[in-house]
Amino acid sequence: MSAAQARHLLNTVFGYPEFRGQQENIITHVASGGDALVLMPTGGGKSLCYQIPALLRDGVGVVISPLIALMQDQVDALAEVGVRAAFLNSTQTFEETVQTERRVRNGELDLVYVAPERLLTSRCLELIEQSQIALFAIDEAHCVSQWGHDFRPEYIKLSILHERFPQIPRIALTATADPQTRAEIVQRLQLEDALQFVASFDRPNIRYQIVEKNNGRKQLLDFIQGEHAGDAGIVYCLSRKKVEETAEFLNDNGVTALPYHAGMDNGTRSAHQSRFLREDGIVMVATSAFGMGIDKPDVRFVAHLDLPKSIEGYYQETGRAGRDGAAANAWMAYGLQDVVQQRRMIDESEASELFKKTQGAKLDAMLGLCETLDCRRVRLLDYFAQHSAPCGNCDTCLTPPVSFDGSVAMQKLLSTIYRTEQRFGAMHVFDVLRGIESDKVKQWRHDQLTTFAIGADRSEPEWRAILRQAIALGLVMVDHDAYSALKLTDDAKPVLRGERKIQLREYQKPLKQKCPPKTKSFVESDLSSAAQQVFDKLRDWRMATARTHNVPAYVIFHDTTLREIAQAMPTSLDALRGITGVGEKKLQTYGAEIVALIEGLA
């Protein structure tokens, strides 16, 4: 299979001048019948890796995807570039299903998207047997990982594809790439002989920022108003209740926000998803149920109001920002309560000890990221076994945190917990440390202890930050069976004996004055004012066109394409053909309108 044919499709169908990264190698490998495992970060360009081989090979490409709610959009987007695609899932009527099946059998489709549970039915497997199949693409392949955050039991059964159709090439794709998940994918999907393509996991346009939480909602609002007025973004919260409350709070403060969580009825949920995709500048407030497969390119920020359970989850979620390559923010507010809550959820879960241990290790890595004194990106990439140098585009690189030898402070905290017999919660321990003569302190005569007031030089927030780090380091645990009493772990002993030094992050006072709200959105436009006016006109045209076609605006053209048009001012179809993102089908459909629009402005 020649690379020239692949390139020709890239240029004429998708309108892109060049392959990105390893796309070309992957495509030629799969197109010539090889199996592949592709690990690429969100926004890396995975879709072309199976779409182009499906076009190059005879027959229809079968794409297995858990993202039922997005299949219609995916199929519509492909129709826009002239690729014949359809889907099979539970949202269809029987007639629609039968019609799609007929098109598969007759070879009238390039791609068919299938939900895994549908694929595994005997009816569907028979259909595959009777049809010519170009390839199987297993999207979101990390869903086979039992310990991952997106586990889908049906994914495990997908090994049947290899057993029943060994001659059909398979390409598995995922944006989760920690070595453990990768090994699980290979084993469960029987991809031992597949070539592995591992892209760089860096997303250089995303700026990582983790701030100490004091009033999370207020901090979030300041962040949005200060840096992202009018931008589309996603805010992740842990609970459904918090999702609802946060969306309401944002709306009350002039930010258009919509809630999304698994407890809402299907209709409202998909209406919210659709508005987020189709309208500009909407903030989606969601639980982790939202986001897989969302390919909106201009999400300018992802914010976390609660600590995610793992770095895999955090990286997937933050990866939804800035898929268009323009500057984007990943922001998180994190505090003592997050650490306590996450540890508690693991302790109280009914799962096996082994599972709990794995979850505990994942949480530790996440906490390590939050408490790190070094570059956040170095930490993140390290987790995916990729080594890098400090990035210059994260909070710890931009304003290095101050660290200090916290051994003595930690000893004070630990011995106060010890002297109060490991029976009290954080507030009381802080009171004793700071020499506060509260009723409880007097009642227990803790003002008589040798540690009473030995920490009077620090404020309560400072002690809170130290306790948070003690819990993150595993020196202290919170006993939820005993009124959240603080207890020492075995690891606390060497610190108390002075055998282990502890380096701590200095508590950072929240900034009093917030940065003045910017009027412009986060992406500073590099267009001249004349070009900017053309760009605005093009956007209006795109919005109207998207409405008529009932697709999200970016499916018509990306901002980057409109920007290029506004700069080049093409007045012929040939000139328009050279613009990134303009393939033959879009040229036919929209070319004349755009040229007329440009000529009208000239």
Binding site for ligand ADP (CB under 6 A): 16, 18-20, 23, 40, 42-48, 295, 297, 323
Closest distance of CB 390 from Zn ion, Å: 5
With CB cut-offs between 5 and 8 Å by kind, which of Zn ion, ligand ADP, none does residue 51 bind? none
Partner from Zn ion, ligand ADP, none binding residue 363, C-beta < 5-8 Å depending on class: none
Catalog residues that contact Zn ion under the rule CB under 5 A. 375, 377, 391, 394, 397
Q: How far is the CB of 595 from ligand ADP (least distance, A)?
A: 23
Instruction: Tell me the C-alpha distance between 517 and 503, whole Å.
Output: 36
Token readout for 172 is 């598995």
3-state secondary structure 62-80: EEECCCHHHHHHHHHHHHH
Least distance between Zn ion and beta carbon 377 (Å): 5
Nearest 10 degrees: Cα torsion 8, 14, 15, 17:
-60
Residue 297 contact among Zn ion, ligand ADP, none, beta carbon within 5 to 8 Å by kind: ligand ADP
Q: Closest separation between CB of residue 48 and ligand ADP, Å?
A: 5
To Zn ion, the closest distance from the beta carbon of 514 in angstroms equals: 23
Return the one option of Zn ion, ligand ADP, none that residue 375 interacts with (CB less than 5 to 8 A, by type): Zn ion
Which residues have a Cβ under 8 Å from the Cβ of 444 and sit 6 or more positions away? 420
Strand partners, 285: 235, 259
Q: Least distance to ligand ADP from the beta carbon of 23, Å?
A: 6
- With b for 16 or more beta-carbon neighbours within 10 A and e for fewer, the 523-543 pattern comes to beeeeeeebeebbebbbebbe
Angle at 172 between CA 168 and CA 173, to 5 degrees: 145
Q: Which does 397 bind (CB under 5 to 8 A by kind): Zn ion, ligand ADP, none?
A: Zn ion
Nearer to Zn ion by C-beta: 152 or 207?
207
Per-residue H/E/C for 429-475: HHHHHHCCCCHHHHHCCHHHCCCCCCCCCCCHHHHHHHHHHHHHCCC
Choice between 325 and 400, CB closer to Zn ion: 400
Q: Which is nearer to ligand ADP, 30 or 40 (CB)?
A: 40
Among Zn ion, ligand ADP, none, residue 377 binds (CB under 5-8 Å by kind): Zn ion
Q: Which of Zn ion, ligand ADP, none does 323 bind, CB closer than 5 to 8 A by kind?
A: ligand ADP
Decide whether 234 or 502 has the Cβ nearer to ligand ADP.
234
Cβ nearer to ligand ADP, comparing 217 with 296: 296
Query: CA of 176: how far to CAs of 1, 182, 324, in Å?
Result: 29, 8, 19
CB closer to Zn ion, 121 vs 399: 399
Q: How far is the CB of 301 from Zn ion (least distance, A)?
A: 17
Ramachandran assignment for 168, one of left (phi > 0), alpha (psi -120 to 50 degrees), beta (any other): beta
Distance of closest approach, residue 21 Cβ to ligand ADP, in angstroms: 8
Q: What is the distance between the alpha carbons of residues 379 and 383, in angstroms, rounded to a whole number?
A: 6
Task: Report what 394 binds from ligand ADP, Zn ion, none; CB cut-off 5-8 Å by kind.
Answer: Zn ion
Residue nearer to ligand ADP on the CB measure, 190 or 196: 196
Cβ neighbors of 480 (< 8 A, separation 6 or more) are 344, 347, 348
